[in-house]
A and B are shown apart, each in its own frame.
Chain A
Amino acid sequence: MRARVLQANALSKRYGATVALSDVSLTITQGEVHAILGENGAGKSTLVKILSGVVRANSGGMSLAGEPYNPHSISKARAQGVATAFQELSLIPNLTVGENLLLPNASARTFWPESKSSILRRAAEVLREWQITDIAPDAIVEDLSLAERQRIEITRALSHASRLLILDEPTAALPDPGWLFQQIRRLTARGVAVMYISHRLGEVREICERATVLRNGKTIDTVDLSGVDDDGIFAMMVGRSPESAFAEPVVARPDADIIVDVRNLNVGKVRSLDLSLKAGEIVGLAALEGQGQQDLFRALGGAVKPSDGKIMVGGQAAALGSPRRALRAGSGIAFVPEERKTEGIFVNLTAASNIALPKIGRASHAGIVYAGLEKKVSAEAASKVALSPRYLGFNVGSLSGGNQQKVLLARALITGAKCLVLFDPARGVDVGTKQSIYAMMRDYVAGGRTILFYSSELSELVHLSSRCLVMYGGRIVADVPRAELTEERLLAAAHGHSQEMKVAV
């Protein structure tokens, strides 16, 4: 039996009157990589916050290496050897990588600021220790890509973790977990324990030995991962047996109407791009980070103005100068951006108000909005994304990430647009929510409509797309038909392999 590093007993946490965690217990031993599994809203984030000192539990106790552990702040937790890499990165955008790495002690001296070169020297050492060679210590954090920022966030936690390292969705923005796993193994070899939170079961199986499953704020069980199959884990997380995650793919009829037709589009990184979306198809888009997919999606959604090009929506030429115009252009385009918190939800409004907003006229009489009508108007869209009606009256801010995503998709549905443009719609949500989203997408195109979606998970693209486009360097370099869809094929094209160029549209 290895020594226990962390022991948590019957932790409970309430926010106001909302219970986020009740009676959660777990034990993590020395040198172990311990997974925390659960759907969105199961209480994982709350658990992370308690362990890392962001919030304090209302009841229950913790011990760290045999001593009572009750951190009041992140720095107190760090002082006891517990460091966290947060999902919503905690880096300061306008400081350098080096300063961020050394925070909160960016200056080694008390009375006079440490010189810039000395800070950079210390930071370079940290980067070298954790095998990061491609990020300069004097780079400004906001100039880095999301993946690079995530690696810096993780590195900072690695360098401070002397007893326990907490990783909250560390691979959400990492295209390749290889580097991370290597560092985790080096850390555990020194006897440091790692708590690993991820939705990606494949990764969890690769790196973790045991997993604790949470559901509805309670511990369900701690299991040896080698003794349970994926279905078993799914069942513990969701509370029911899994349906087949991916049903039969949908393919458009060859003579289907073209709903959206894009010719010679130039916007941001996008270079003279052609694209057409037919009724009844789900078109996937694969790309490595920063190939112009954001620009393409934002242009179609009206959030940025194209510098050149022609867009036809439902047979009419459309100038998509704003999302409002995109919604009203021809048969309409509804855009769901990737940034749920900043561009999606209205946290102070109820789920029903969030969903009904585009059709608020239908929820009102003589300019007055009625909550009952609003619930009625939003209920249909909510049912399409399998959002439980009991959440309609709740403020969206109090819902889990998965349910917030459902609210956003329901709002896109309620607009009545015939084309959905979804940027990574199932990112960072749990398996149950994913299934609901996939079902909604299939159902939507079956009604003679069309979807363009980007995903950072290749398996999702392979299983869901009627055909899959691949972007590289601002252009579409491949249009892979259903029959030829494999992850390898997409990956090769996404890296710009030249043999793929011949199929470019």
Chain B
Amino acid sequence: MQNEKTIASAVAEQEDNRATAKISGEFVTIAAIFGLTFAMILASRAISPSFGSWSQVETILYLSSFLVFCAFGQGLVILVRGLDLSIASVITLGGVLTASLMNGSNEGFLYLVPAILGACIVVGLISGIGVAYFRVPPFIMTMAVGLIVYSLCLGFTRGTPRGYPAPLLSGFMQDKFLGVPAPVYLLLAFVVFGTILQSYSVFGRKLNAVGNNPLAAYIAGLPSGVLIVSAYAMSALCAGFTGMMLAGYANGATLRMGDSYLLPSIAAVVVGGSSILGGQGNFVGTVGGALLLTALATILTALGIEQGWKTIMEGGVILFALIALREQSFAFLREVLGKRG
């Protein structure tokens, strides 16, 4: 009898009021990384009044755009559980081709741009096909392709890249519009485009699915191979574009121009909250990571800190950002900001 009573009271409808947070963890991480960048620029002002000015912010935005371009492609590859180590060589390829083929003239500019980027895409297709269909580990595949591409550049230029980018390109890199450098506008447009592509497009959704659970994507009928190849092609396209812009900026190409972007491109993606294991990531976070790294490098250089100390501090900040800016660190914040039912 007593049991019946307890059942009756137990059966009484109880609302499942366990809830999930209103603020997503991803948003918190992104906000934190931008906050940290901003704080760093402000803090640099305390060291020297010439820092933290608007023109310095402009410079940081300008310089970070190269890293943002190639980190977008890196982010897509990491999203599908890969890694693109050929970025440095493809940047060089884009730069070398830009300088030597344009050869200081605007003639054929409209044909040369797609041709150069197309050559870079071919490199990405090769990496992608090796990874997706021949099951070569991404690390090895892209490293090998990168070595081959670099050697081709070396042979093609006989060790010294010659030529200049089209004046249209180098002019654009120095242009100002409403007092702001033209490339900064390009950067903003690219961020919007990249965010939509990665997080809101059908293509991006499928890439997310493949990276998140490749087996499930296969069972669900997604063309996993094609998607993986296209991520590597996009990465090579972005790297080639970075090389082209760098050549325009420096008014020429060097064989080592891509080297300083490879590891930062990976760091920017990971610091920005993406999982290095794939399946999770957001381009806005990557942009935050790129800005943080660029701001740090710019400030340390301007302070005239020795190279050794500079690298140590860069490593330290990357570690700090990774450890401190995880979403768990902000669990309390999300609770304060409310829940949704």
A interface list, Cβ under 8 A from B: 16-20, 22, 213, 215-218, 220-221, 223-224, 227-228, 232, 235-236, 239-241, 301, 303, 322-324, 326-328, 335, 337, 342-349, 353, 357-358, 360-361, 364, 367-369, 390, 394, 398, 411, 415
| Contact among A213, A335, A364 for B219, CB-based, below 8 A | A335
- State whether A239 and B14 are in contact (beta carbons under 8 Å apart), knowing that A227-B3, A232-B7 are contacts in the complex: yes
B223: contacting residue among A224, A232, A324, A358, CB under 8 A: A324
**Which residue of B2, B17, B205 contacts A353 across the interface (Cβ within 8 Å)?**
B205
CB closest chain-A residue, reference B210: A346
Asked if B219 contacts A343 (CB within 8 A), the reply is yes
- B residues within 8 A CB of A343? 213, 215-216, 219
Asked if B209 is at the interface of the complex by the 8 Å CB criterion, the answer is yes
CB-CB under 8 A from A323, the residues of chain B are 218-221
B18: which of A216, A220, A328 is its contact (CB, 8 Å)? A216
In the complex, what residues of B have CB within 8 A of residue A368's CB?
196, 200-202
State whether A324 and B212 are in contact (beta carbons under 8 Å apart), knowing that A215-B14, A223-B3, A369-B201 are contacts in the complex: no
Contacts across chains A and B counted by CB atoms under 8 Å: 136
Question: At the interface, yes or no: B81 with Cβ under 8 Å from chain A?
Answer: no
Contact A16-B7, Cβ < 8 Å, known A323-B218, A324-B222, A368-B200? no
Q: Which of B10, B212, B280 contacts A221 (CB 8 A)?
A: B10
Contacting residues, chain B, for A221 (C-beta < 8 A): 6-7, 10
Q: Write out the residue numbers on chain A whose beta carbons fall within 8 Å of the beta carbon of B208.
A: 346, 348-349
Chain A neighbourhood of B19, CB < 8 A: 17-19
Within 8 A of A (CB), among B1-22: 2-4, 6-7, 10-21
- Asked if A235 and B10 make an inter-chain contact with CB atoms under 8 angstroms apart, the answer reads yes
CB within 8 A of A239: which of B11, B196, B220, B334?
Answer: B11
**B34 beta carbon closer than 8 Å to chain A:** no
Known interface pairs A216-B14, A361-B202; A223-B6 also in contact (CB < 8 Å): yes
A431 to chain B, nearest CB (A): 14
The answer to whether B95 has its CB under 8 Å from any CB of chain A is no
Closest CB-CB distance, A150 to chain B, in whole Å? Answer: 22
Contact partner, A216, options B3, B16, B196, B335, Cβ 8 Å: B16
Q: Which residues of A contact B328 (CB under 8 A)?
A: 16
CA distance A345 to B218 in the complex (A): 11
Q: How far is the CB of B274 from chain A (nearest CB, A)?
A: 11
List the B side residues contacting A301 at CB < 8 Å: 219
| B73 interface contact, C-beta 8 A | no
Q: How far is the CA of A327 from the CA of B223 in the complex (A)?
A: 12
A322 to B222, CA, bound (A): 10
> Quick one: which of B25, B216, B334 has the most chain A CB within 10 A?
B216
Select which of B11, B212, B222, B223 is within 8 A of A235 by beta carbon.
B11
The reply on B339 being an interface residue by CB < 8 A is yes
Which of B200, B215, B280, B334 lies in contact with A17, CB distance below 8 A? B334
| Distance in angstroms between the alpha carbons of A31 and B200 in the assembled complex | 57
The answer to whether A236 and B11 touch across the interface, beta carbons within 8 angstroms, is yes
Cβ of B17: which chain A residues have Cβ within 8 Å of it? 216
Q: Are A16 and B21 in contact (CB under 8 A)?
A: yes
A411–B209 touching, CB < 8 Å: no
Is B209 within 8 A of A357, CB to CB?
yes
Contact of A347 among B21, B212, B215, B217 (CB under 8 A): B212
> How many angstroms from the CA of A220 to the CA of B14 in the assembled complex?
10
Are A415 and B221 in contact, CB atoms less than 8 angstroms apart?
Answer: yes
Task: Please determine whether A347 and B213 come into contact, CB atoms closer than 8 angstroms.
Answer: yes
Bound-complex Cα distance A390 to B185 (A): 40
Question: In chain B, what residue has the closest Cβ to A217?
Answer: B18
B172 within 8 A of A: no
